[in-house]
Structure 1
Amino acid sequence: MNHDICILGAGPGGATAALHLANAGHPCLLLDRAAFPRDKVCGDALSGKVLSELKRIDEKLTSQLAAAPMQVPSWGIDFFAPNGQQLGIPFKPDFNKNTDRAAGHVAKRIDFDNFLVEEVRQRPEIDFRENVDVARTERTATGWQLLNKAGEEVATCRILLVANGAQSEFARKVAGHALEPDHHCAGLRTYYDNVTGLSPNNFIELHFIKDFLPGYLWVFPLPNGQANVGVGMLSKTVAAKKINLRQRLDEILTTHPTLAPRFAQAERLGPVRGFGLPLGSKRRPLSGANYLLLGDAGSLIDPFSGEGISHAMVSGRHAAIWAAQAVAKGDFSPAFLKNYDKAVYNRLWQELRLSRVMQRLLNFPSLFNIVANRAVNNPTLAETLSAMFMDLDLRERLRQPSFYFKLLFGRK
Structure 2
Amino acid sequence: MLQHHDICILGAGPGGATAALHLANQGIPCVLIDKAVFPRDKVCGDALSGKVVNELKRISPNLPALLGEQQEQLPSWGIHFISPAGHKLSVPFRYEYDPERDVPSGYISKRIDFDNFLIEEVKKRPEISLLEGIDIATVERTAQGFSLSDKSGEQLFNTRLLIAANGAHSAFARHHAGIKQEPEHYCAGLRAYYRNVAGLDQDNFIELHFLKDFLPGYFWIFPLPDGYANVGVGMLSETVSQKKVNLKKEMLRIIETHPEFKERFANAELVGDIKGYGLPLGSKKRVISGDNYMLVGDAASLIDPFTGEGISNAMISGRWAAAQAGLCLQQQNFSADFMQGYDKAVYNRLWKELKLSRRMQRLLDYPWLFNQVASKASKNKALAETISCMFTDLDLRERLKQPSFYLKLLFN
TM-score range, shorter chain: over 0.9
Equivalenced residue count is 408
Letter in 2 for 1:256: H
- Inter-CA distance 69–282: structure 2 relative to 1 (3 Å threshold): same
Contact 2:34 2:134 survives alignment (8 Å): yes
Aligned to 1:250: 252
* Structure 2 residue ranges without an equivalent (≥5): none
Contact 2:390 2:397 survives alignment (8 Å): no
- Inter-CA distance 181–385: structure 2 relative to 1 (3 Å threshold): farther
- Inter-CA distance 211–231: structure 2 relative to 1 (3 Å threshold): same
Aligned to 1:69: 71
Aligned to 1:409: 408
Q: CA deviation at 1:409?
A: 3.5
- 2:268 is matched with which residue: 266, 269, 273? 266
Contact 1:378 1:410 survives alignment (8 Å): no
Aligned to 1:357: 359
Aligned to 1:206: 208
Letter in 2 for 1:409: K
> Distance between the aligned counterparts of 1:410 and 1:341, measured in 2?
38
Aligned to 1:219: 221
Q: CA deviation at 1:213?
A: 0.2
Letter in 2 for 1:117: I
Give the root-mean-square deviation of aligned CA atoms.
Answer: 1.9
Q: How does 1:372-391 map to 2 (within 5 A)?
A: 372-376=374-378, 377=380, 379=382, 382-384=385-387, 387-388=390-391
Contact 1:182 1:235 survives alignment (8 Å): yes
Letter in 1 for 2:248: R
Q: CA deviation at 1:166?
A: 0.3
Contact 2:359 2:401 survives alignment (8 Å): no
> Distance between the aligned counterparts of 1:408 and 1:326, measured in 2?
50
- Inter-CA distance 327–119: structure 2 relative to 1 (3 Å threshold): same
Aligned to 1:19: 21
Contact 2:95 2:388 survives alignment (8 Å): no
Question: In the alignment, does 2:111 pair up with 1:112?
Answer: no
Q: CA deviation at 1:380?
A: 5.7
Contact 1:380 1:410 survives alignment (8 Å): no
> Distance between the aligned counterparts of 1:372 and 1:23, measured in 2?
44
- Inter-CA distance 212–296: structure 2 relative to 1 (3 Å threshold): same
Contact 1:221 1:227 survives alignment (8 Å): yes
Q: How does 1:116-135 map to 2 (within 5 A)?
A: 116-135=118-137
Of all paired residues, the percent bearing the same amino acid is 57
Q: Which moved more, 1:128-137 or 1:370-379?
A: 370-379
* Structure 1 residue ranges without an equivalent (≥5): none
> Distance between the aligned counterparts of 1:355 and 1:302, measured in 2?
7
Letter in 2 for 1:192: Y
- 2:301 is matched with which residue: 299, 302, 312? 299
- Inter-CA distance 129–169: structure 2 relative to 1 (3 Å threshold): same
Letter in 1 for 2:264: R
Aligned to 2:98: 96
Structure 1 runs of 4+ with >6 Å offset: 399-404
Q: How does 1:23-102 map to 2 (within 5 A)?
A: 23-102=25-104
Letter in 2 for 1:323: A
Letter in 2 for 1:62: P
Q: CA deviation at 1:335?
A: 0.6
Letter in 1 for 2:96: D
